[in-house]
Amino acid sequence: MERPAWAPHGIDLSVPSVSRMYDYYLGGSHNFEADRVAARKVIEAFPGLPKIVQANRAFMRRAVRHAVAEGVTQFLDIGSGIPTFGNVHEVAREASPEARVVYVDNDPVAVAHSKAVVAGDDRVGVVAGDFREPAAILASRQVEDLIDLNRPVALLLVSLLHFMDEDDKPYERVAEFRDALAPGSVLVLSHASVERGPATTAQGDDVSDIYRRGGSTFVMRTSAEIARFFDGFELAEPGVVTLPDWRPEGPVDVDDPIVYSGFAGVGRTA
């Protein structure tokens, strides 16, 4: 298999990656055949998935603008993935020229491409890191250089936590970040679910199986389980709701109910 110039050496092109599959759902080009094969299987099991991904990105953009309106201009985006149009730093910068962003991902392609996209921007950093190691992320040079942990930070865990099972201790890791960040910090979170949308539990199980066969975890959670991630945060209205229903910027005109297959929310510490 020919290795593209943008692909870092040392990665196995035959193993699908969560970040590169997400890039494929968004119509990106930074993915390999193994990613495309696995992603197409997921879409077959869960038709309409690209629309969910687009609704998720739209939620992220609204939440970033909300954070800036609340006076938060520092962003830590964990599981940031491969950059596409409308990234966090672009949205935040439109709302506040002073915004600073650190992207964190554990996929080498996502990290390499992110560095290329933000090269020369001294208010954006990229970290090769893992959500399961909060202390290492917070102690990284990029966070130290760009983020003042004595001031509020917006922690973005967008479409990330469904890739963590209970053995990864996701609730504990979120609490570690919460306790390390200054009062007034914000949690922006979205998570896959079959509780409210038209997809069945069996379809959700099929998606989990496909990811597991590719070496990754995928866990559908209920709205109550997702709300638990906000323990210690005060939820912004309207609370934990389906993706299109979190502070829509206009009338919600949904042509496919599949976009309700997930929940999102924003919380703030006292």
pLDDT of residue 89: 96
pLDDT of residue 153: 98
Report how far residue 111's alpha carbon sits from residue 167's, in angstroms, rounded to the nearest whole number: 25
pLDDT of residue 84: 81
Domain covering 49-247+255-268, topology: Rossmann fold (3.40.50)
Global pTM reads 0.94
pLDDT of residue 253: 66
Report how far residue 104's alpha carbon sits from residue 130's, in angstroms, rounded to the nearest whole number: 7
Q: How far is CA 84 from CA 93, 110, 206, in A?
A: 15, 11, 27
pLDDT of residue 6: 67
Q: What is the pLDDT along the chain (270 residues), one digit of tens a residue?
A: 566 766 777 777 888 999 999 999 999 988 889 999 999 999 999 999 999 999 999 999 999 999 999 999 999 999 999 888 789 999 999 999 999 999 999 998 899 889 988 999 999 999 999 999 999 999 999 999 999 999 999 999 999 999 999 999 999 999 999 999 999 999 999 999 999 889 999 999 999 999 999 999 999 999 999 999 999 999 999 999 999 999 998 877 677 899 999 999 999 999
Delimit the domains of the chain by residue range: 49-247+255-268
Give the CB-side neighbour count of residue 205, counting CA atoms within 13 A: 3
Cα dihedral 184/169/53/117 (nearest 10): 70
Residues 55, 246 contacting (CB under 8 angstroms): no
